[in-house]
Amino acid sequence: FTVIGCDDYAWLTSETNSRYVSTGCATRCPTPKDVVGDKCLGNGCCQSSISKDINYYTTRVYSMDESYNMSYTRSFNPCTYAFVGEENVFKFNGATDLNNTSLKKKIEANVPIVLDWAIGNLSCTEAEATDGFACRYSNSSCVNSPRESGGYRCICSEGYEGNPYLSPGCQGTV
């Protein structure tokens, strides 16, 4: 979870099957020279880890600026951003990013979101006994999800590629 801005903070809230999850961070930057590029440690940019087993998430962004200081801060930081993305992919460019009104496009184009998903909450053994079992096409096998909520996924057997969920399934490679 990454927040980019000056004198702002953001929270991400979610839950797993067994607990409520909340994380967030705050950014400060009294002047543009206090913001160092390639360092996302609180001056203009901060990051926080997210639990791997969340079912959804919501974010909220807030300003810590007092009204008399806001016009100064916004002169070099017109926008605040909070986003979820793959760990260690986003590279903060310091004050250049703070003043970049196209930063949203840069983030969307370069920072992927990693989804760790599973089908249902049954194990492979339990799911195989049901009519809706998804790993039924050629050269595919079932793997149990490591997620707290359980579930399974289908993969192509070694030496095969394709989509294990759709006919004709996984095909041999040459």
Q: pTM for the complete prediction?
A: 0.74
The tally of domains found in the chain comes to 2
Whether 117 is covered by a domain: the verdict is: no
Q: State whether 103 and 144 are in the same domain.
A: no
* pLDDT at site 140: 93
Whether 135 is covered by a domain: the verdict is: yes
* pLDDT at site 147: 83
Whether 118 is covered by a domain: the verdict is: no
Q: State whether 132 and 100 are in the same domain.
A: no
* pLDDT at site 127: 96
72-111 pLDDT per residue, tens: 677 778 888 999 999 889 999 988 898 888 999 999 999 9
Whether 78 is covered by a domain: the verdict is: yes
Q: In which domain, by residue range, is 30 found?
A: 2-110
Q: State whether 29 and 105 are in the same domain.
A: yes
Whether 132 is covered by a domain: the verdict is: yes
**Which tokens belong to 37?**
């590029």
Q: State whether 133 and 101 are in the same domain.
A: no
Across the chain, the runs of DSSP E, i.e. the strands, are: 2-4, 8-15, 20-27, 45-47, 58-63, 81-83, 140-144, 152-156, 160-162, 170-172
* pLDDT at site 22: 93
Beta carbons of 29 and 43 less than 8 angstroms apart: yes
* pLDDT at site 138: 87
Q: State whether 37 and 86 are in the same domain.
A: yes
Q: State whether 66 and 98 are in the same domain.
A: yes
The last residue of a domain, from among 78, 110, 142: 110
The last residue of a domain, from among 59, 86, 110: 110
Q: State whether 53 and 103 are in the same domain.
A: yes
Rounded to whole angstroms, the Cα distance separating 120 from 80 reads 37
Reading the chain (174 residues) residue by residue, the pLDDT tens digits are: 999 988 889 999 998 878 898 999 999 887 888 888 877 888 999 999 988 778 889 999 988 876 556 666 777 788 889 999 998 899 999 888 988 889 999 999 999 988 888 999 999 999 999 999 999 998 999 999 988 888 999 999 999 999 999 999 999 875
Beta carbons of 71 and 45 less than 8 angstroms apart: no
The last residue of a domain, from among 110, 138, 155: 110
